[in-house]
Chains A and B, each alone.
Chain A
Amino acid sequence: MSNVGIVIVSHSPKIAEGAADMVRQMVGDAVPLAWTGGDVDGGLGTNVAGILEAIEAAWSPSGVAILVDLGGAETNSEMAVEMLPEDRRARVLVCNAPVVEGAVIAATESSGGSSLAAVKRSAEEFYA
C-alpha cells in the first residue's frame, strides 16, 4: 500500500519549494511530494498546467492531498482536479488548511500509511 501523495501550491514558487523542503525534512522519501508555484510567465500566481504536472509527479494509488495558499491557488487546484481523468478525480482532495503547516502535518499523517480522508482531516483539524 503506497502512501498518499502531497502537492503544495503557492502563488510564490519560493514558498512552495520551501514548504516542500520542510516536508522532506520531516518525512524523507516516504511520501510522494511535488510543489508548484507562479504563473505561466514565472510571476506570482498559480497555473493549472503546473498543478496538473505536480499531481502527476506526486501521484499515488492512495490519492493526493493538495495544500494551497490563497484564493487563486484553490480555484486553480479545483479546476485542475476536474480536468484529471475521471478515475483519478475522486482521489485528489484540496485541503482547507494553512499551506506550510498543513503540508507538514498532512505528510506526517501520510507517512504513517493513513488514508486520503485521514490525511485531509489531520491537516484541516490542526487549525480548526
Chain B
Amino acid sequence: MSLDRVAREKLVRALAGSVISHADELTSLDQAIGDGDHGLNMKRGFEAVLAALPGLADKSLPEMLKAIGMTLVMKVGGASGPLVGTFFMELGKALPEEPSRADLVAATEKAIEGVKARGRSEAGQKTLLDVLVPVHAVLAGGGDAKAIVAEAVQAADRTTPMLAIRGRASFLGERSIGHMDPGSRSASLLIGAAVETLEFEVNT
C-alpha cells in the first residue's frame, strides 16, 4: 500500500470528518455514562489535526501518523487524548512508509498494546479496546474492507450490554449496562473512515 500526498490528505480529512460530524452523537453517548465531553474533546482534537494540513500530509505516512497522535495528546483534553493519541503514535512508529497488509497487522497490534498499557486495560472492560481488539482479529484473519467495517460497527454495538470496569463509566457500576461506550463508537467511526479511504486508494 502506497499513499501519495493527495491520498494522505484525503485520509486525514476522512478521519477528522468522521469524528467531527458525529460529535453530538458522541457527546450524548458520553452524557449517558460519562462526563459528557467525549464529542467535544475529540472534535477539538481533530480540528487541530485539520488545522495542521496541508503541512501534515507533506510528511511520510509514519511521520504523519505520529504527528496526528501528538496533536491528539496535546489537544483532546480527556483520557481519550492520550489513549487515541497513543494508538496513532505507536502505529506511526511501527509502520514502514509503504506498508504491506502484514505490516499493518503487526503495527496495529503494537498500537493496541500501547493503548492497553496507557489505560492499564484489556478488552472486556467497555472501552475502545472492545472495538480495536476484535477488529484487529478480523484484519489479521484476512477479512476484506467490508468485513472490517462491519466488525467495527458490531463491536461498538456489543459494548452496550457490557459492564464498565475502566473509565468514568465504571463509577456507575451496573447502571453503565445498556449504553454504548462512547470511546468504542469513536474508534469504530475512525476505523470506518480509514478503511473506506484506504480501500478507495488501493482499488483505484
Contact = CB atoms under 8 A, between A and B. Distances in A.
The reply to whether chain A is a binding partner of chain B is yes
A92 to B, nearest CB: 16
Choose among A39, A47, A72 the residue with the greatest number of B CB atoms under 10 Å from its CB. Answer: A72
B79 A48 contact: no
Nearest to A70: B168
B74 to A, nearest CB: 6
B75 interface: yes
B77 interface: yes
Contact of B37 (A44, A49, A79): A44
Contacts of B74: 40, 47-49
Nearest to A46: B77
Given A41-B44, A47-B74, A72 B79 contact: yes
A40 B35 contact: no
Contacts of A98: none
Interface residues of B, dominant DSSP: helix
Nearest to A74: B79
A43 interface: yes
B17 interface: no
A122 to B, nearest CB: 23
Given A45-B77, A48-B82, A79 B35 contact: no
B92 interface: no
Contact of B82 (A45, A49, A76): A76
A40 B41 CA distance: 10
B41 A45 contact: yes
Contacts of B85: 79
B75 A40 contact: yes
Contacts of A40: 44, 74-75, 77
Interface string B170-194: 0000000000000000000000000
B79 A76 contact: yes
B134 interface: no
A33 B86 CA distance: 29
B73 A72 contact: no
A75 interface: yes
Contacts of A45: 37, 41, 77-78
Nearest to A47: B77
Interface in B40-98: 40-41, 44, 73-75, 77-83, 85-86
Nearest to A72: B79
Nearest to B80: A72
Interface string A38-79: 011101111111000000000000000000001110111011
22 contacts: A11-B35, A39-B78, A40-B74, A43-B77, A45-B37, A45-B41, A45-B78, A46-B77, A46-B78, A70-B168, A71-B79, A71-B167, A72-B78, A75-B79, A75-B82, A75-B118, A76-B79, A78-B118, A79-B73, A79-B82, A79-B86, A79-B118
Closest 3 CB pairs of A and B: A39-B77, A72-B79, A45-B77
Interface of A: 11, 39-41, 43-49, 70-72, 74-76, 78-79
Interface of B: 35, 37, 40-41, 44, 73-75, 77-83, 85-86, 118-119, 166-168
